[in-house]
C-alpha cells in the first residue's frame, strides 16, 4: 500500500459503538448517502472494491462491515439478518442519516431488505443485488454444499482478505461458522414481508448467479415499487466482486451507470 493509499484509508475509516459491536465503516465522497452492505464472508473491499471509487464521485458512500466480518468485532450471539439490519440502522442514527439509498449484495441484500422492513425511515431507495428470500430461490447445489460447509472450501481470496485485516485464524473460523449456521438454519420469509417494502427497489441478478432468474422475477413482482435488471454474469461479477473471472471487464462501469440513473430518477408515487 502506498503512502497516498494509506492516508486515504486512514481518513475514511471509522468505528462506532453499535449494539455491543465495535463496528467499522468507511465514508467516501459527497452527495446523497449511499450505504453499501457486503456479502457473507466478505468485506467492503472484496464486495465493492471495484465500484466504490466510481460511486464516490457522485455519492457520500457509507460502506459498512457487519458482525465478525473484516474490521468489525464479534458478539456472543449468532448472526441474523435482523440484527445486522438493526446494527446498520443504529449506525445511521448515530450519523444522523435518514432516507439513505442502500445497496446490499448477496447476504447483504437480505440485510438490506430487513433494514427496509424494520426501519423504513432510514431507506429511500433499495438495490438488491443477488439476494433471495426463500430457499427455493437458490439452486439446490448451493444448499447441498452449505450443509457440509468447511473453512477449507471458503474461497482463498476471502480468507486472505480477512487474515490481512485481523491476523486471526480463530476469528476467520468463527466468521465462517457464523455465516454457515445462518444459511443452514434459514427459513423462508413470507411473500407479505416482501410486499411490505415501500421503498422503490431495484432487483439485480446475473443469469449465472446462485439465485435463480425465476426468483428474481418473483421478488420483482411482489415489490410495490419494484424494478428488475439481469446481466450476463455470475454472482457479483456484474459489479466487479473480487471473485469475478475477468478483472478487466467493462460491465461494472455499465452497472454503475445504470445504478446512478436509477437512483437519480424521481421517486414513484405511492400506491
| 25-74 confidence digits (pLDDT tens) | 999 999 999 999 999 999 999 999 999 999 999 999 999 999 999 999 99
Locate cell 471473485: which residue? 243
H/E stretch holding 103 reads strand 100-105
In the predicted model, is pLDDT for residue 232 greater than 90? yes
In the chain, where are the structural domains located? 3-84+94-254
**Angle at the Cα of 54 (from 13 to 235), degrees rounded to 5?**
90
Q: What share of the chain has pLDDT > 90, as a percent? A: 94
Provide the 3-class DSSP secondary structure of residue 266.
coil
In the predicted model, is pLDDT for residue 6 greater than 90? no
CA distance 257 to 142: 31
pLDDT in tens, 121-139: 999 999 999 999 999 999 9
CA distance 236 to 252: 9
Mean pLDDT of 4-23: 75
Rounded mean pLDDT of the chain?
95
Instruction: Write down the pLDDT at residue 270.
Output: 72
Q: Centre a 10 Å sphere on the Cβ of residue 207 and count the other Cβ atoms it contains.
A: 13
Mean pLDDT of 167-183: 98
**Inter-residue contact 131 to 215 (CB < 8 Å):** no
Query: Residue 109 is placed in which grid cell?
Result: 441484500
H/E stretch holding 152 reads none
**Inter-residue contact 213 to 139 (CB < 8 Å):** no
In the predicted model, is pLDDT for residue 240 greater than 60? yes
**Inter-residue contact 84 to 114 (CB < 8 Å):** yes
In the predicted model, is pLDDT for residue 7 greater than 70? no
- Per-residue pLDDT band at 11 (split at 50, 70, 90): low
- Per-residue pLDDT band at 224 (split at 50, 70, 90): very high
**Inter-residue contact 130 to 205 (CB < 8 Å):** yes
CA distance 173 to 44: 19
Instruction: Write down the pLDDT at residue 271.
Output: 63
Task: Name the class of domain 3-84+94-254.
Answer: alpha beta
In the predicted model, is pLDDT for residue 220 greater than 60? yes
Instruction: Write down the pLDDT at residue 260.
Output: 98
Which strands sit side by side in the sheet containing 201-208, from one edge to the other?
A: 13-18, 21-28, 59-64, 32-37, 100-105, 123-129, 201-208, 226-234
- pTM (2 d.p.): 0.95
In the predicted model, is pLDDT for residue 85 greater than 50? yes
In the predicted model, is pLDDT for residue 4 greater than 80? no
Instruction: Write down the pLDDT at residue 53.
Output: 96
Q: What is the DSSP letter of 189?
A: P
CA distance 12 to 8: 6
Amino acid at each position: 500500500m502506498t503512502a497516498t493509499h494509506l492516508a486515504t484509508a486512514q481518513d475514511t475509516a471509522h468505528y462506532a459503538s453499535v449494539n455491543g459491536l465495535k463496528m467499522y465503516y468507511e465514508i467516501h465522497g459527497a452527495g446523497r448517502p449511499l450505504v453499501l452492505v457486503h456479502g457473507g464472508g466478505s468485506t467492503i473491499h472484496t464486495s465493492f472494491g471495484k465500484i466504490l471509487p466510481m460511486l464516490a464521485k457522485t455519492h457520500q458512500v457509507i460502506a459498512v462491515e457487519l458482525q465478525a466480518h473484516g474490521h468489525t468485532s464479534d458478539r456472543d450471539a449468532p448472526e441474523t439478518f435482523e440484527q445486522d439490519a438493526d446494527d446498520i440502522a443504529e449506525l445511521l442514527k448515530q450519523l444522523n442519516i435518514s432516507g439513505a439509498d442502500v445497496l446490499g449484495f448477496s447476504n447483504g441484500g437480505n440485510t438490506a431488505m430487513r433494514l427496509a422492513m424494520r426501519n423504513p425511515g432510514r431507506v429511500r431507495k433499495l438495490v438488491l443485488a443477488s439476494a433471495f428470500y426463500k430457499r427455493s430461490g437458490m439452486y439446490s447445489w448451493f444448499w447441498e454444499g452449505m450443509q457440509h460447509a468447511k473453512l477449507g472450501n471458503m474461497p482463498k481470496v476471502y480468507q486472505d482478505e480477512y487474515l490481512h485485516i485481523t491476523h486471526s485464524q480463530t476469528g476467520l473460523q468463527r466468521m465462517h461458522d457464523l455465516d454457515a449456521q445462518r444459511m443452514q438454519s434459514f427459513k423462508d420469509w413470507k411473500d407479505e414481508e416482501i410486499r411490505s417494502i415501500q421503498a422503490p427497489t431495484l432487483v439485480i441478478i446475473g443469469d449465472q448467479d446462485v439465485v435463480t432468474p425465476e426468483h428474481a422475477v418473483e421478488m420483482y413482482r411482489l415489490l410495490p415499487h419494484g424494478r428488475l435488471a439481469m446481466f450476463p454474469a455470475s454472482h457479483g461479477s456484474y459489479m466487479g466482486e473480487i471473485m469475478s473471472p475477468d478483472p478487466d471487464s467493462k460491465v461494472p462501469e455499465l452497472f454503475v451507470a445504470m445504478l446512478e440513473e436509477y437512483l437519480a430518477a424521481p421517486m414513484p408515487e405511492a400506491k
